[in-house]
Amino acid sequence: MSARRSVTPPAEPVGGWRRAFVLGALGVGACVVFGRAFQLQVIDQDFLAAEGSKRFIRNVVIPAHRGAIVDRRGEPLALSAPVESLWAVPQALLDSPQHVEAVAKLLGRRPAEFRKFLEARTERKFVYISDPLSPAEAKRVLSLGAPGVFSDPAYARYYPAGEVAGQIVGFCGRDGAGLEGIEKSQESVLRGKQGSRRVIRDRAGRIVEDNLEFAEAQSGEDVQLTIDLRIQYLAYRELKDAVIRHKAKGGSIVIADSATGDILAVASQPGFNPNNPGERKPPGTRNRAIVDSFEPGSTAKPLLVAQALELGLFQPTSTVDTGPGWFKVGALTVRDVHPGGVMDLAKILAKSSNVGAAKIGLTLGPEAVWSGFQRFGIAEPIYTGFPGEAGSVLRHYSEWGQIATATASYGYGWSVNALHMVRAYAALANDGLMPHLRLIRNTRPVPPQRAISANTAREVRHMLETVVAPGGSATRAAIHGYQVAGKTGTARKLSDTGVYDPNRHQALFVGMVPAERPRLVGLVVIDEPGDGGYYGGLVAAPVFSNVMQGAARLLQISPDGTDTPDLAPPDAPRLTVALPPETPASAPKAKAGAALVKVAEPRL
Amino acid sequence: MKRGTLMIPLLLIAAIIVSALAVVRTKHENRALVAELETLRTERERLDMEWAQLQLEEATLASNNRVERIAREQLGMVEPRDYEIVDQTPVAGAAR
């Protein structure tokens, strides 16, 4: 050891700079490394993290479905179903001619025409080449393996009931938002909210982690209408038949459950098929029963008679002398079609005497006539939740003179929509309790209001039976096996110049079945019938009869109207089921409905 | 005492290795479950689509329009116009 030490040459003095140089170089190196680390970790951190995420983190959209619209029995009226929209990059597809031909064949287009279509768009990178297809069809096209053909999944709205319920249900636009009808008014309920989640994907595209961020998709809720599709179909078919047979300009029909106020059918003509975008324009899309108003004409007379009885100024046996069938009120001459001399109230209704109604109205005075119509909710909106509901026009009685009072008494000078008339007659049908009309089942039931006393309602109903009985103005409204109560109306329409046109009419019939204890109320309006008469009793009454006959059969309404569960006391055994059984999904709503019935109990 | 001080780090090292392996295993299980969840979600979506299409198909086939046409034209059925309504209401009380 000591020897080795002895051979070790004495250390030459080392220049101090070398030490400084090494340390300095190391220091610089460390600074560079540290600085680079600082740059990457602190300065560029956001950018780099984002770039990294881009390579494996994906946002995945969780689709939300739009809710369906169903009828009271759960039959779908509007449904969303998946579709595929095929699109192509024109140049890429044109580069392989045999594929162009095959794709054209599968899409049902002529190859030459399809080629031209693509050639006209070679500049573009994205062209839809088909209407939305079912997933199976789209798969067939894609399986050709044509270059530049892709598909986008989407949801399309279908309307299985087609034109039968088109005007109520409405339709959606291309972006999936409701544009008309219930689709529009219930948009916030139907619309779903798309969810999204962030996931980590591996190289093969499989999702390996998905616990990053998560927003749940909220599918739209279903909307259940009070419509019964079977009755809706029947009503639509009969209305369409009548409109065609009488070469009318249009028409509408409303059927409602008089006890609960549920609207079972609303249809109008001309109609449209919501599945066909080309037909989605007025006048077809116009739901005349709700958005159009009309002068009720003679159908207002029972309301006037009810008010006269209610005030005690007239009795059912009271008579009115209608004279020779005409009567002068100032400058106005009121005329009857069938002069009848001295008539009692029932006969005034049966013969639809304008003179009789005008005389009753003038005896009551403007205020009483006005408040009589008010009782039946003529001036109140219906609040069905349907967009564009027509308001009624009933001027205040202080603006009425003698002439206005007389004309208002037989239904001119004020206007309502079809639902107003149905609601008013539902009050007569439901022993004076006027129900709140509903079109949407999910809404909370509103208790009915008392319009008139039960006695008055029954008396007016008896009178209305004579309208349909032999000798009345609407014998064609009769239904085999049932007693019908109702009233015809033949209202002249205002011409463009503002006077009543003698050649343009609206034929109306409004009635209830069965007369003793009504369950259904219905209104039929035929607008400007051109062929085969224009009287309500000739044109509108047969439609009413056909529809109500079918509806009474479908709903199992017994001929005398007794034992219908909603009118029976709550503790009575349920003997017949008048309305179809609830679907399980709506069971809680049925309970709410039962609560309403208790209020509507007509034992007073 | 000396033995003890040596054992503690060794034990800790073993524990670390075990827990590291457990992490690997858990991660693997997690990914397998995520993959399964994903397949199930896809399946649900597919079934949803199929359900919507079947509903649509059923509604189209059962549409009143079509049923009426077939009943009238192919089966020659007509609506009963001449009928009698028979009251089959059970006597109250008998139903209970």
- Tell me the pLDDT tens digit for each residue of A281-304: 878 888 888 999 999 999 999 999
Report residue A532 as tokens. 């085969």
Report yes or no: A76 at the B interface, CB cutoff 8 Å.
yes
- pLDDT confidence of A604, banded at 50, 70, 90? very low
| Structural contact between residues A306 and A205, judged by C-beta atoms closer than 8 angstroms | no
| A158 has a chain B CB within 8 A of its CB | yes
A451 and A496 co-located in one domain: yes
Of A81-85, A341-345, A404-408, A411-415, the one with minimum mean pLDDT is: A81-85
Q: Are residues A182 and A252 in the same domain?
A: no
Higher-scoring residue by pLDDT: A569, A240:
A240
SS3 sequence of A178-195: ECCHHHHHCHHHHCCECE
Q: What is the pLDDT of residue A591?
A: 35
Q: How many domains does chain A have?
A: 3
When pLDDT is averaged across residues A266-288 and rounded to a whole number, the result is 86
The amino acid present at A185, given as its one-letter code, is S
- Domain stop point among A104, A123, A155: A155
Q: Which residues 6+ apart lie within 8 Å of B29 measured at CB?
A: none
Spatial separation of the C-alpha atoms in residues A463 and A487, rounded to whole Å: 10
Model confidence at A571: pLDDT above 60: no
pLDDT of A216 over the 90 cut? no
- DSSP H helices, A111-219, are 111-119, 135-142, 166-169, 181-185, 187-190
Cross-chain residue pair A135–B31, CB shorter than 8 Å? no
pLDDT tens track for A117-153? 888 888 888 888 877 777 778 888 888 888 888 887 7
pLDDT over 90 (residue A33): yes
pLDDT at A570 over 60: no
Chain B contact set for A83 (CB, 8 A): none
Q: 3-state DSSP call for residue A515? A: coil
Residues A317 and A215 in one domain: no
Q: Which residues of chain A have a CB within 8 Å of the CB of B53?
A: 81-82, 134
Look at B34 and A161 and tell me if their CB atoms are within 8 Å: no
CB of A563 less than 8 A from some CB of B: yes
pLDDT at A39: 92
pLDDT-based confidence at residue B87 (cuts at 50, 70, 90): low
What is residue B50's DSSP assignment?
H
Residues of B with CB under 8 A from a CB of A: 30-31, 34-35, 37-38, 45, 48-49, 52-53, 55-56, 59-60, 63-65, 68, 79, 81-85, 87, 89-90, 92-93, 95-96
**A206 interfacial to chain B (CB closer than 8 Å):** yes
- Lowest-confidence region among A139-143, A316-320, A467-471, A563-567: A563-567
Same domain, A95 and A243: no
Give the tokens for residue A199: 């996931």
Q: Is A268 a catalytic residue?
A: no
CA-based nearest distance A198→chain B, Å: 13
User: Which member of A160, A480, A550 has the closest CB to residue B63?
Assistant: A160
- CB-CB under 8 Å, A208 with B31: yes
Q: Which residue of A has its CA nearest to B93?
A: A573
Enter the tokens of residue B13. 């090292």
A82 and B49 within 8 Å at the Cβ level: the answer is yes
Give the pLDDT score at A149: 84
Those residues whose C-beta lies under 8 Å from the C-beta of residue A445, and which sit 6 or more positions away, are: A260, A436, A438, A592, A593, A595, A596
Q: What mean pLDDT is predicted for residues B13-41? A: 91
Cα separation, A110 vs A122, in Å, equals: 18
For residue A97, with 0-12 CB atoms within 10 Å meaning exposed, 13-18 middle and 19 or more buried, which class applies?
Answer: exposed
Chain B neighbors of A75, CB-CB under 8 A: 59
* A189 and A308 part of one domain: no
Selecting from B37, B60, B82 the residue whose C-beta is nearest the C-beta of A160 gives: B60
Whole-Å CA distances, A504 to A168, A248, A507: 27, 10, 10
Minimal C-alpha gap between A82 and chain B (Å)? 6
Q: What is the CB neighbour count within 10 angstroms for residue A243? A: 24
Mean pLDDT of B30-39: 86
pLDDT top residue among A421 and A146? A421
Which of A108, A129, A155 terminates a domain? The answer is: A155
Helix (H) or strand (E) holding A305: helix A301-310
Subunit contact B89:A79, Cβ cutoff 8 A: no
How many Å lie between the alpha carbon of A481 and the closest alpha carbon of chain B? Answer: 7
Tokens representing residue B68 in the block: 């009426």
| In-domain check, residue A170 | yes
ipTM score here?
0.73
Parallel/antiparallel/unpaired status of strands A195-201 and A207-209: antiparallel
- A153 beta partners: A84
Confidence band (pLDDT; 50, 70, 90) for A565?
very low
Residues of A in contact with B61 (CB under 8 A): none
| C-alpha to C-alpha distances, A475 to A428, A471, A527, nearest whole angstrom | 20, 7, 21
Whether residue A20 is contained in a domain is answered as no
Whether residue A291 contacts residue A388, with contact meaning beta carbons closer than 8 Å, is answered with yes
Place of tokens 């809404």: A443
Predicted pLDDT of residue A531: 78
- Reference A390, options A414, A426, A424; nearest CA is A414
Q: Do A210 and B37 touch (CB under 8 A)?
A: yes
Closest to A81 (Cβ–Cβ): which among B56, B65, B89? B56
Produce one character per residue of A517-529: b if its CB has 16 or more CB atoms within 10 Å, e if not.
Answer: bbbbbbbbbbbbb
Report the chain A residue with the minimal C-alpha distance to residue B81. A480
Chain B residues in contact with A208 by the CB 8 A cut-off are 31, 34-35
In a domain, A26, yes or no: no
pLDDT averaged over every residue in chain A = 84
- Number of A/B CB contacts below 8 angstroms equals 74
In a shared domain, residues A538 and A439 = yes
From B19's Cα to the closest Cα of chain A, the distance in A is: 21
CA A473 – CA A510 distance, rounded (Å): 12
What pLDDT does residue B1 have?
55
Contact at CB, B53 and A134, closer than 8 angstroms: yes
Domain limits, chain B? 2-74
Question: Do A274 and A170 contact (CB within 8 A), yes or no?
Answer: yes
* A325, part of any domain: yes
Q: Which of B52, B55, B92 sits opposite A573 (nearest CB)?
A: B92
Nearest-angstrom CA–CA distance, A349 and A347: 5
What are the φ and ψ backbone dihedral angles of A91, each rounded to 5 degrees? Answer: -65, -45
Residues A40-56, mean pLDDT to the nearest whole number: 86
Q: Check whether residue A456 and residue A490 sit in a common domain.
A: yes
Alpha carbon of B9: minimum distance to chain A alpha carbons (Å): 32
What mean pLDDT comes out for the span A112-119?
A: 86
- Average pLDDT for B53-72: 88
In a domain, A560, yes or no: yes
CB A556 within 8 Å of CB A488: no
Residue A573 has pLDDT above 70, yes or no: no
Q: Is the pLDDT of residue B92 over 60?
A: no
pLDDT above 80: residue B36: yes
* A411 and A325 housed in the same domain: yes
Chain A residues touching residue B34 (CB < 8 angstroms): 207-210
| Cα of A173 to nearest chain B Cα, Å | 19
Residue of A298, A352, A392, A415 with catalytic role = A298
Q: Would you say A411 and A293 are in contact if contact means Cβ atoms under 8 Å apart?
A: no
Shared-domain flag, residues A515 and A547? yes
Measured CA to CA in angstroms, residue B25 lies from A199, A210, A532, B12 at distances of 20, 18, 86, 20
Cβ contact, residue pair B31, A210, below 8 Å: no
Residue B20: its pLDDT value, please? Answer: 96
Mean pLDDT, range A98-106, rounded to an integer: 85
> pLDDT category, A424, cuts 50, 70, 90?
very high
Do A189 and A248 lie in one domain? The reply is no
Cα torsion through A577, B80, A256, A586, rounded to 10: 40
C-beta atoms of B90 and A575 within 8 A: yes
Q: What integer pLDDT is reported at residue A602 of this predicted model?
A: 31
Phi, psi of A406 (to 5 degrees): -65, -45
We report the CATH number of the domain holding residue A89 as 3.90.1310.10
Question: Which among B38, B79, B89 is the nearest to A576, CB-wise?
Answer: B89
Question: What residue of B is the nearest CA neighbor of A207?
Answer: B35
Q: What is the DSSP pairing of strand A195-201 with strand A149-158?
A: unpaired
Residue A55 to residues A50, A311, A313, B93, Cα–Cα distance (Å):
9, 83, 88, 76
Same structural domain for residues A324 and A177? no
CB contact under 8 A, A575 and B95: yes
**Alpha carbon of residue A517 to chain centroid:** 29
Distant-in-sequence, close-in-space partners of A403: CB < 8 Å, separation ≥ 6: A329, A330, A331, A332
Looking at the fold, whether A330 and A194 belong to one and the same domain comes out as: no
A195 close to B (CB below 8 A):
no
How far does A209 lie from chain B, in Å, by closest CA? 6
> Which residues, in sequence order, are bridge partners of residue A267?
A253
Whether B52 and A82 lie within 8 Å, measured CB to CB = yes
Which residue, among A335, A346, A257, has the nearest Cα to A306 in the 3D structure? A346
In three-state secondary structure terms, B83 is: coil
Report the share of chain A in percent with pLDDT over 70: 91
User: Are A303 and A334 contacting, i.e. CB atoms less than 8 angstroms apart?
Assistant: no
Residue A162 in contact with partner chain B when CB distance is under 8 A: yes
Among the listed residues A101, A239, A59, A87, the one whose alpha carbon sits nearest the alpha carbon of residue A152: A87
Domain coverage including residue A247: 229-274+291-600
Asked if the C-beta of A381 comes within 8 angstroms of chain B's C-beta atoms, the answer is no
Read off the pLDDT band of A114 (50, 70, 90): confident
Q: How far is CA A21 from CA A18, A24, A28, A229, in A?
A: 5, 5, 10, 95
Residue A2 lies in a domain: no
pLDDT > 90 fraction of chain A, expressed in percent and rounded? 33
SS3 content of chain B, % helix, strand, coil (to 5): 75, 0, 25
- Asked if residue A218 has pLDDT above 90, the reply is no
How many residues are recorded in chain B? 96
Interchain CB distance below 8 Å, B59 and A160: yes
Strongest mean pLDDT among A151-155, A464-468, A593-597? A464-468
Q: How far is CA A429 from CA A295, A478, A515, in A?
A: 22, 17, 8
In 3-state terms, what secondary structure has residue A573?
Answer: coil
| pLDDT of amino acid A426 | 94
